[in-house]
Structure 1
Amino acid sequence: MKKYYFFLIILLFHQACIPDKQAEQETPTSEQAKIIFLQDIDSLYSKTENLKNVILSNISETKIQQAFFEARAAYKQVEFLAELYNPFTAKKLNQPALDEVEEEDPNVVVYPEGFQVIEELLFPYLPENKEEALKHVEITLVNIKHLKRVSEPNTLTDAHIFDAMRLEVFRLITLGISGFDSPIAKNSLPEAMAVLSTLKKYIALYEKPIRFANFKLVANESKQIEGYTKLWHKIDQAEKYILKFNDFDAFNRAYFITKFANPISELLLDYQIKLGIQSFEEHRFLKTTAKTLFEEDAFDETYFAPLYSRKYAHNQEVVALGKALFYDNILSGNNQRNCASCHQPERAFTDGLPKSASFDGKGFISRNAPTLLNAGLQASLFYEGRVAYMEDQITDVLSAKDEMHSSVKEAVSKLNQDKNYQRLFQKVFLTEEENTQSPITEEQFKIALATYLRSLKSLNSRFDKYMRGDKTQLNSQEINGFNLFMGKAKCGTCHFMPLFNGTVPPVFDKMETEIIGVPTKPDTAKATIDSDKGKFNTTKIPLHTFAFKTTTVRNVEMTAPYMHNGVYQTLEQVIDFYNRGGGEGIGIQLDNQTLPFDKLNLNKQEQKDLIAFMKSLTEVDFKKKVK
């Protein structure tokens, strides 16, 4: 029956795929795109209203679910422009079915809305859920009306349209085919078809760009035609591949991304350039010029830095100065430990202990030392995400009594008594016009150390090289492990590709925390929740109790033991924990667990494959970077 839905949705979208070729040539392409966008919003409203009527009619579960699939597919037609122009409204239409709190007023709980909430009420559909389902469909209809109202006055531009299309490709491979926004129905592949059909519909507007008034004559029109043809055919091939291989659990995501999705994003950028449409120059974490998500320099490590630090990001003298500080005992209160005491480069900047040794050497601090590799590529820091800037993290760590037992003020005071450091800081920070006798400042100190930490990027593993086209880098077991990670095992719905942490794609400007139910001990019998309440310790919001930031899986082979309390010594133990359904699966009762508590049902071989893939995320060359 599900195959019937799949082909029905494909048929519906191909019927609406091609825009009217007889459109007036004087109408700018971007205005034609806006007309289509508004029409698609109307179609979304109509499909959602039909879902409401089908639920009201009390017909079969099959018909209700079919109507839901059609409405969701209609949403996928408007998603790429809605997310770019009206992200707040788009979130209301398709957000995870999890409660949140208002950032401005933490005491106000924000209840989820949209299709993911409706999905939970319809799969399976129980008559007792009818009123609740209808309520959420009505809310969704109101939000669709709002989307139409706020979209009507918007002025679309060609640059925005191409930008939105490329972001949608990134959204497709990170959130779409992973099942992130279809976690229960597993309807991700038909929805991917809807996305691809929509891209073709908008790209068709640019098939003959010379005829449109908003384009200047470009010297080599044949290159434009060639670019369009390659792009169109690559999307067409991607559609055919999904049509042929449409089983969610068995879908070869590695092949799809390297064979189709990556080339599509590259061809979109190439065609945009051929059309003379300039890319945005705005400062983003994911660079607007990144051809794919897997380029080594796709992400800008300065994005999450304060303005006063950004200009030093690529200054190698500042990096070298920060590195010297990192390994210098002068930063600690007793001059007997340094940053590398707990963040050792040979262990991917961890220390191999469940919990790091305390300052006095007689005990341990409350948490496991996380890796510093890619620490600059995240929107918040510490396990509970309590600070946004690396500079603030430095302040906290130095002042922590169990860690460095010092302060930025004390460290800078000692540095100002060291002639060598005085010389180095003056060389880096002072201009010829400034007083060469000026003391080292706290800001300069934090800039130097934070700049070094941001330089610790690790995005060149065997997995990355495979995604860039070198098919020799991964074997069949590792490829299968990746497909499990991004599919059946659901790892990729929290550890988002390609950073494999909680930084949410495709904008990558928000870091998620999750409640997974980490136990005190590794025993699965009579398990109890670890006493560390995580984010609640900072916010005092009950909803955040036991919430921790989703840390990176990159270089995980080097960073044992695992979890914030170091409870698991091996990756096998970690996978077993998730395979059982997290804390809920080992008997821990949590009302607010955000990790799905259903079992993953991974067999032994699948678990081995999954671990093999995770080990492919180790960058074997990172030691060279830190010598």
Structure 2
Amino acid sequence: MRSHSGTIIILLFLIFLLPCCKKAQSPKEVLYVQFNNDLSTLIFRNEQFLGFVRTMKNKAELQAEFLKLRMQYKKVEAFTEYFFPTTVRLVNGAPLDEVEDEENAVFEPGGLQVIEELIYTTDLLERDELVRHVRKLNVNLMRIKKLWVDIQVTDSHVLDALRLELFRLITLGISGFDTPASGHAVKESQQVLQSFQQYLKVYEEMIPSFKKLYDQTESAIAFLSKTKSFNELDRATFIADYINPICRNLHAYQKSAAIPFIRDRRLLRGDAATLFEPGAFDAEALLTNSRFAASADRIALGQKLFYDVRISGNGKTSCGSCHQPQLAYSDGQKTSKGFANEVMTRNAPTIRYAAFQQALFYDLRSPSLEDQAADVIHNKKEMHGSMQDIARLIGSDAEYIKLFRKAYPGIKNVPPAYIQNSLAVFVRSINPFNSSFDRYMRGDKQALTLDERKGFNLFMGKARCGTCHFVPLFNGTVPPDYQRTESEVLGVTMNTDWKNPRLDKDAGRGAHNHFPQWQHAFKTSTLRNVSKTAPYMHNGAYESLQQVMEFYNEGGGAGLGLPVPNQTLATDKLRLTKPEVKLIILFMESLTDH
């Protein structure tokens, strides 16, 4: 009996001891399970919502249930966007056809934004269509669930995903980019920050400044909760005083903890503390070969070539003819004059910040600055030059020989690739990021006036400018990973006669890629230095920013009554008042480099 009792005591001891011996889970392991549970809840809510779609007759009640679904998605957004970017386009992508040029295919949009459009409408519910899209959403959520099983999460990945989610919040979230119909951007932004807190909490014991981070996030949530409506949100203050400090603190923790930053050669550097830090963007990220990296000598060679009229066919035209520094590297003409003084069909855009686009020209036909340089030089209507002639010039001119040998030591001949590279290197060097807006976002509270800040809030809110001109590049390169540059169909008119509008005939991307979706599509140009680059649009039809704002205020070409069935710009009128338009223009003028 004594032996039996002893055995029981030992067994009981072992039972109590085993949990104590169980290896404690690491923060990333805890987070892995937490995300998996949140994802399961999202799938459950979507299945619930499918039932509501089939039975609910009251549209307001259905919209309320949809908001619950959206809020649950915002809980998992950071990691779905980070680990499953392809699938997530069918979960929360824009409600526009996905055109895959290389595959010569068009894919139907799907997901939450498509569903939102179907239920936030004054028309009768298309119930069968709604059911179809909710079921498609479930398929893609289940796909993410299956893929998550094989994901190997590291601390670097977790912190990178959370950092990018904060950047997504201040670029897309508060602009209403993915909530155009419901207008729930402020509520969803609160959920994003609450989720940020919950996921970061698993690192509480590892983060000495965790309480500070938590309290900063709590303050940001409180700031949003006091905002009465989407249009009233003070976005300038929210970013500068609330989110940027959180980002800097998160960055400082990761650095002190010696957790490596993700370095994957993207436009936005993996170690950027905020979107607004000097050097946050890498102008050379899109280089495919490191031997063509920038150097002071290569910039000097490229700059000399850029302003040398001898590289053109008639010895009268240089790159600088159409891209003049005093005009932010534009030319002030409605449309530029090319070879033999021939008038071109398109306006010369600024080339400042051109390095931060995934494709070049208004029609996005060129994949790199190097290719763009060759295209312009060889174009018979523009410069009518040749790389062979430029190579001979460099090889026969004493100053050029010296510059080239310093720029590319060991290269005996002058291959065209090096000529193109030197011009591209120069263009990549002219991105100062030193406007009043930049200084304000870096902590100089006096850099923007109150009216300029009001203009920014309108730009990002009521005017919807920020849903196409993304902060802080203010072009069409989509945050927060900046891996894709978008074009838009605006229905640009031939002039500013709004009462008798005529659609500009330029097909844009549609001239090279004959997809109906790309007819009259043009790249979204940067608004940096926009006060210096008049006239505006691809055809130079609008002489002032006032006219540009009038066009947008009318809802673009379709809003003016023109037949633009594929217009991507919202066609409803913005209803901006004259004082509001003035404020937005004041803000855009604050984007001028000093």
Q: Same fold (TM over 0.5)?
A: yes
| Counterpart amino acid of residue 471 in structure 2 | M
In structure 2, the partner of 1:392 is: 371
Q: Comparing 47-56 with 578-587, which one deviates more in the overlay?
A: 47-56
Alignment of 1:124-143 (within 5 A): 124=121, 126-143=123-140
- Aligned with 1:382 (options 355, 358, 361): 361
Q: Give the superposition deviation at 1:499.
A: 0.1
| Counterpart amino acid of residue 46 in structure 1 | F
Change in 2 beyond 3 A, CA 1:533/1:158: same
Alignment of 1:81-160 (within 5 A): 81-106=79-104, 108-124=105-121, 126-160=123-157
Change in 2 beyond 3 A, CA 1:110/1:423: same
Is 1:253 the equivalent of 2:235? Answer: yes
Distance, in Å, in 2 between the alignment partners of 1:489 and 1:48 is: 32
Is 1:588 the equivalent of 2:562? Answer: yes
Report % sequence identity.
Answer: 40
Is 1:304 the equivalent of 2:286? Answer: yes
In structure 1, the partner of 2:29 is: 31
In structure 2, the partner of 1:50 is: 48
Instruction: Show structure 1 runs of 4+ deviating over 4 A.
Output: 22-25
In structure 2, the partner of 1:424 is: 403
Asked if the contact 1:61/1:125 (under 8 Å) is kept, the reply is no
Distance, in Å, in 2 between the alignment partners of 1:51 and 1:171 is: 26
Describe the SS at the equivalent of 2:126: helix
Q: Give the superposition deviation at 1:397.
A: 0.1
Distance, in Å, in 2 between the alignment partners of 1:310 and 1:483 is: 40
Describe the SS at the equivalent of 1:539: coil
Q: Give the superposition deviation at 1:521.
A: 1.6
In structure 2, the partner of 1:212 is: none
Q: Give the superposition deviation at 1:46.
A: 1.3
Distance, in Å, in 2 between the alignment partners of 1:341 and 1:612 is: 29
Distance, in Å, in 2 between the alignment partners of 1:95 and 1:257 is: 24
Alignment of 1:447-486 (within 5 A): 447-486=421-460
Specify every segment of 5 or more residues in structure 1 that has no aligned partner in the other structure, as ranges.
1-21, 210-223, 621-627
Change in 2 beyond 3 A, CA 1:199/1:507: same
In structure 2, the partner of 1:219 is: none
Asked if the contact 1:253/1:483 (under 8 Å) is kept, the reply is yes
Q: Comparing 414-423 with 247-256, which one deviates more in the overlay?
A: 414-423
In structure 1, the partner of 2:225 is: 243
Distance, in Å, in 2 between the alignment partners of 1:102 and 1:453 is: 29
| Counterpart amino acid of residue 90 in structure 2 | K
Q: Give the superposition deviation at 1:308.
A: 4.9
Distance, in Å, in 2 between the alignment partners of 1:23 and 1:128 is: 58
Q: Give the superposition deviation at 1:58.
A: 2.3
Distance, in Å, in 2 between the alignment partners of 1:246 and 1:176 is: 16
Distance, in Å, in 1 between the alignment partners of 2:403 and 2:476 is: 37
Q: Give the superposition deviation at 1:509.
A: 1.2
In structure 2, the partner of 1:536 is: 510
Asked if the contact 1:309/1:451 (under 8 Å) is kept, the reply is no
Asked if the contact 2:266/2:286 (under 8 Å) is kept, the reply is no
Asked if the contact 2:553/2:574 (under 8 Å) is kept, the reply is yes
| Counterpart amino acid of residue 280 in structure 1 | I
Alignment of 1:357-372 (within 5 A): 357-361=337-341, 363-372=342-351
Q: Give the superposition deviation at 1:407.
A: 1.7
In structure 1, the partner of 2:302 is: 322
Describe the SS at the equivalent of 1:124: coil
Q: Comparing 606-615 with 86-95, which one deviates more in the overlay?
A: 86-95
In structure 1, the partner of 2:59 is: 61
Task: Map Cα deviations across residues 144-166 of structure 1 (whole Å, 9 max, x no partner).
Answer: 11110111121211110000000
Q: Give the superposition deviation at 1:572.
A: 0.2
Asked if the contact 2:118/2:125 (under 8 Å) is kept, the reply is no
Q: TM-score scaled to structure 1, two decimals?
A: 0.90
Distance, in Å, in 1 between the alignment partners of 2:246 and 2:356 is: 25
Is 1:408 the equivalent of 2:387? Answer: yes
| Counterpart amino acid of residue 303 in structure 1 | A
Distance, in Å, in 2 between the alignment partners of 1:234 and 1:542 is: 48
Distance, in Å, in 2 between the alignment partners of 1:400 and 1:263 is: 49
In structure 1, the partner of 2:192 is: 195
Task: Map Cα deviations across residues 282-340 of structure 1 (whole Å, 9 max, x no partner).
Answer: 322111111100112100000122315543x2x11111111111111111011111111
Asked if the contact 2:432/2:593 (under 8 Å) is kept, the reply is yes
- Aligned with 2:311 (options 322, 326, 331): 331
Is 1:498 the equivalent of 2:495? Answer: no
Q: TM-score scaled to structure 2, two decimals?
A: 0.95
Describe the SS at the equivalent of 2:512: helix
Is 1:511 the equivalent of 2:485? Answer: yes
Distance, in Å, in 2 between the alignment partners of 1:534 and 1:554 is: 22
CA RMSD of aligned residues (A): 1.5
Q: Comparing 125-134 with 574-583, which one deviates more in the overlay?
A: 125-134
Distance, in Å, in 1 between the alignment partners of 2:292 and 2:533 is: 29
Distance, in Å, in 2 between the alignment partners of 1:455 and 1:34 is: 42
Q: Give the superposition deviation at 1:53.
A: 1.3
In structure 2, the partner of 1:566 is: 540
Q: Give the superposition deviation at 1:125.
A: 6.3
Describe the SS at the equivalent of 1:360: helix
Task: Map Cα deviations across residues 419-473 of structure 1 (whole Å, 9 max, x no partner).
Answer: 2212221122124xx7xxx232212211211111110103110000001110101
Asked if the contact 2:265/2:286 (under 8 Å) is kept, the reply is no
Specify every segment of 5 or more residues in structure 2 that has no aligned partner in the other structure, as ranges.
1-19
Change in 2 beyond 3 A, CA 1:48/1:125: farther
Distance, in Å, in 2 between the alignment partners of 1:575 and 1:405 is: 37
In structure 2, the partner of 1:277 is: 259
| Counterpart amino acid of residue 74 in structure 2 | K
